[in-house]
Structure 1
Amino acid sequence: MGERAAGAAGLRVALSTLDGPLRFLLLSSFLIPLGSFMVLPFMSVFLHERLGMGLGTVGFVLAVASLVQFSGGIVGGALADRIGLRRTMLWALLIRTAGFAGLLLALRWPPLAVGALVLTCCGAALYLPANKAYLVHGVDDERRPAFLSAGNAALNAGMAVGPLIAGPFVLSSPGWLFVAVTALFVLVTAGHARLPRSGGQEQSGGPTSERGLLAGVAVLPFAANVLAFYLYFHFQHFLAVYAVERASSAFYSLVLLLCFTLVIVVQPLASGLIRRMSYTRALTVGFMGLAAGLAVLAIGTPPALLAGGALITLGDIVLFLKNDLEALRRSPRSDAVVFGQQRLAAGLGACASGALGGQLYGLTEHTGNTNWFWLLGAAQCLLLPPVLLALRARTPKHPHPHDDEGALIPHDTDGRVPGR
């Protein structure tokens, strides 16, 4: 209780320093996923049932979309470094608005749906690194977990509410749904146009902006993010099909609501504890949570869907925040570039999950027992993370200064980049 109370007090103190533009950015961090998750969580069902795509094809489409949405973040980070955070966010929102308008047009011409989906993912790729960097630029290390957790809480709140609103309409009345989402993005884009261009929040053309996209990458947090997103997106990509078969789209929305509520409540309160947690322990706790959750999903009952989703969420709360914090600590690059690199890692993992997971889910569906899909995912959660710990054990504690290609990263004995 004392740890939780201290965490809540520290969170309140840290967030009390937010000014008007950053408060709007947190509001946008709710509204943007609210609109997006009125559509995106149901895309596997929409493509499969409404447009008649096979599950193998759906898995491939989701893999490409995930690769673009996450891996494109490295381009978003570099673009923010070059043209500034506000301008990058504006371009990203314009692209994403066009994508949702394209989904509306796809109701008349279905092949357009794939291109429109990829376009929305391009906008997301450009937006998030600039958003996170705008939020934490100039913030000291002690307050960064609170600021990132507040952004994640707003993000997950929108992700929780979106499916609840859209669940009854995504298959029955998708046209009106796409119109509403497009209108919401137009309003959010207009608000971003009024954000300050300077005042200590804008980065552009910094000293590292001419370096390669992967120069200075924090290798272990990057690899851990690849693996974490690969395993987590077994749940994200395929729970919709699995849950709708066993319950309903409304119950699937309830599972998402529980997961997002846990992130909203738990991650900000636990952010200080996660910051102080050793990296090895964080990886162990996180991947064990994913393993337990995927195994519970294999039971297939409605209570198991809720419990499995909760366990997976608790695991990713630790993994995703700790990996971002470690990457910021270890890399000499700007915040936007670091977040972009981590998004690239996320995209590689999500893409692999969609491509391999789609084939595996289709195979288990043909055998008549999709429960095995989740058990195989749980087994990977136990077998693959030790490779990361072996990588950590082989990482030198006192590396030489990095060369021009950023092959090595300078840090002191606790892994922290000097001067950050």
Structure 2
Amino acid sequence: MTLLGKPRGRLRPGLARLTGPQRFLLAGSFLIPLGSFAVLPFMSVLLHQRLGMGLGAVGVVLAVASLVQFSGGVVGGAIAGRIGLRRTMLLALVIRTAGFACFLPGLRSPAAAVLALFLVSVGAALYLPANKAYLIHEVDEGRRPLLLSASSSALNAGMALGPLAAAPFVLSASAGLFTAVTVLFAAITVGHALLPGESPDRRPEPSRGERAFSGLAVLPFATTVLSLYVFMFFQHYLALYAVPRTSATYYGLVLAVYALLLVVAQPLLADWIAALPYARALRCGFGAMAAGMATLAVGNHAAIMAGALLVCLGEIALFFKNDLEALARSTRAPAVVFGHQRLAAGIGAFASGMAGGEGYQLAEHMGGTGLFWVVVAAQGALLPLLLGRWSTVRGPGR
């Protein structure tokens, strides 16, 4: 017997009809990034300014930690298939809580701070595939868009509010901030221990030699790689471009409005995006991103705000639809599918990081960083043409 009860196989319409475990997981989808992003966006400041690490070393540490967090999703999905979704979430949260606790000695030791960062990244890699899979476990396919979009909105709300809440305390009261985040994660871990264990997945497992990537939904995987490739140019280089042309305050306003649109619009658009044919969703998503990147090239206040919001709409359409298509086209359990998608995101982000730095520097040398956004926009406009015919082929899960 558990305090939260057993999840039901079907959901009645609307968020008001969610089960206890689903409500708890959606609350966790807000609290976990709230705590994480109270700390993680300030890691470069902690490592460089407080602990004296060189910027080159800081860049390497952050890049490797990001790669672990994304690519480790494949391992997380495999572990979930072996020990179960709830147990995997618990393992991930124990590791992540230990990581935040290690930030306390990390205030004096670069080695402890790096260890803390990697523990947090490993925990995130293990948690997300199992979390998404548990949320939609034994739920009708027609109810999945509502749950996944609500989870994504909660996550983005936490990501947006975490840095704002923590900014006054990061340097002035670091120990208190890290202690509070550790306590928050310990409480969330206890809550997960009260969740009911899920019923076993009845899908046949592939042989050991094929296990990691058998049943891979190839098109959604490839499209996620390309989606993140285009999007991460915006994520990495908007601050560098926007702050000198506007101000740090205006850039903060752009991010706040972006987060608000993401939180509000995704659940409202979820059913519409889910019903779109994949090829049309790709045209809409990449088209919005391309239009947004091209608008950024104008470089004034209005263009930067409008371009960011267009990119936001593209993010909503592409990231959400890719996950739904991966679930529908793959023969594997959802936790494994979400692990594959996390790996695809990591590959795309890594490729964007490799290309973006040189590309932005080249645009600077040529005298106009607006050209950088024009080139990114051109890539975003061409990708749907390359993917369009392939996207009409339906996989085994369809």
Change (3 A) 1:81 1:163: same
> Using the alignment, how far apart are the partners of 2:389 and 2:64 within structure 1?
30
Structure 1 equivalent of residue 164 of structure 2: 164
Superimposed CA distance per residue, residues 79-131 of structure 1 (whole angstroms, 9 cap, x where no aligned partner): 11110111101111122222233344333123544443232221111111111
- 2:216 aligned with 1:217: yes
In structure 1, runs of 5+ residues without a counterpart are 1-10, 398-408
Which residue pairs with 1:67 in the alignment?
67
Deviation at 1:372, TM superposition (A): 4.2
Could you tell me whether the CA contact under 8 Å between 2:278 and 2:391 is conserved in 1? no
Change (3 A) 1:37 1:374: farther
Indicate yes or no: 2:338 matched with 1:339: yes
Q: Which residue of 2 aligns with 1:5?
A: none
- Give the partner amino acid of 1:89: M
Structure 1 residue 124 corresponds to structure 2 residue 124: yes
SS of 1:229's partner is helix
SS state at 1:326 partner: helix
Equivalent in the alignment of 2:30: 30
Using the TM superposition, name which of 352-361 and 272-281 deviates more: 352-361
Any idea what the Cα deviations from partners look like across 1:261-302, whole Å, max 9, x if unmatched?
212211111111111111111111111111222233344444
Deviates more, 1:252-261 or 1:241-250: 241-250
When normalised by structure 2's length, the TM-score is: 0.86
Counterpart for residue 207 of structure 1 = 204
Structure 2: distance between partners of 1:153 and 1:351: 24
Tell me which moved more, 105-114 or 336-345.
105-114
- Between the aligned partners of 1:137 and 1:71, the Cα distance in structure 2 is 23
CA contact (8 A) 2:53 2:110 kept: no
Supply the distance in 2 between the matched residues of 1:377 and 1:51 (Cα, whole angstroms).
36
Q: Secondary structure at the match of 1:332?
A: coil
Asked if 1:327 is matched to 2:326, the reply is yes
AA partner of residue 167 (structure 1): A
CA distance in 1, matches of 2:216, 2:347: 15
Counterpart position of 2:186: 186
Residue 162 of structure 1 and its aligned partner are, at CA, apart by 1.1
Cα separation, 1, equivalents of 2:44 and 2:291: 25
Preserved contact between residue 286 and residue 383 of structure 2 (Cα < 8 Å): no
What residue in structure 2 maps to residue 237 of structure 1?
A: 236
Sequence identity percentage: 60
Instruction: Note the residue ranges of structure 2 that are not aligned, 5 or more in a row.
Output: 1-10
Query: Which one-letter code corresponds to 1:106 in the other structure?
Result: G
How far apart, CA to CA, are the structure 1 residues paired with 2:371 and 2:40?
Answer: 25
Contact 1:92 1:123 in 2 (8 A): yes
Equivalent pair of 1:233/1:354 in contact (CA under 8 Å): yes
Counterparts in 2 of 1:171 and 1:250: CA distance versus 1, 3 Å: farther
Alignment of 1:76-91 (within 5 A): 76-91=76-91
Q: Distance in 2 between matches of 1:178 and 1:356?
A: 34
Displacement of 1:75 after TM fit?
1.1
Residue equivalent to 2:5: none
What one-letter code is carried by the residue in structure 2 that aligns with 1:28? G
SS at match of 1:142: helix
Q: How many residues align?
A: 386
Which deviates further from its counterpart, 361-370 or 215-224? 361-370
Aligned to 2:16: 16
Q: Please say if 1:95 is aligned against 2:98.
A: no
Per the alignment, in what secondary structure is the counterpart of residue 159 of structure 1?
A: helix
In structure 2, C-alpha distance between the alignment counterparts of 1:233 and 1:38, rounded to whole Å: 21
- Do the aligned partners of residues 52 and 60 (structure 1) sit closer, same or farther apart at CA in structure 2, a change above 3 Å counting? same
- How far residue 236 of structure 1 moved from its aligned partner, in angstroms, is 2.3
Query: Quick one: structure 1 residues 108 and 58, their matched pair in 2 at CA, closer, same or farther if it must change by over 3 Å?
Result: closer
Task: Tell whether the 8 Å contact from 1:164 to 1:253 is kept in structure 2 after alignment.
Answer: no
| Partner Cα separation in structure 2 for residue 219 and residue 323 of structure 1 | 11
Give the letter aligned to residue 353 of structure 2.
Answer: G
Q: How far off is 1:156 after superposition?
A: 1.3
**Structure-1 residue corresponding to 2:6:** none
Aligned to 1:406: none
Give the partner amino acid of 1:183.
V
Residues 72 and 122 in structure 1, CA contact (< 8 A), matched pair in contact too: yes
1:4-403 matched pairs, under 5 angstroms? 13-43=13-43, 59-171=59-171, 173-197=173-197, 201-203=198-200, 207-208=204-205, 210=208, 211-245=210-244, 251-361=250-360, 364=363, 370-392=369-391
Aligned to 1:410: 396
Of residues 244-253 and 22-31 in structure 1, the stretch that sits farther from structure 2 once superposed is 244-253
Secondary structure of 1:41 counterpart: helix
Aligned-residue offset at 1:48: 5.9
Q: Tell me how far 1:251 sits from its aligned partner.
A: 4.4
Structure 2 CA distance for partners of 1:232 and 1:222, relative to 1, 3 Å? same
Shift of the alpha carbon at 1:165?
Answer: 1.1
Residues 111 and 357 of structure 1: CA distance in aligned 2, closer, same or farther (over 3 Å): farther
Whether the 8 Å CA contact 1:293–1:311 is kept in 2: the answer is: yes
Counterpart Cα distance in 2 of 1:352 and 1:341: 17
Structure 1 residues 387 and 184 mapped into 2: Cα distance closer, same or farther (>3 Å)?
same
Q: Which amino acid in the other structure matches residue 156 of structure 2?
A: N
Relative distance call for 1:172 and 1:132 in structure 2 (3 A) is: same
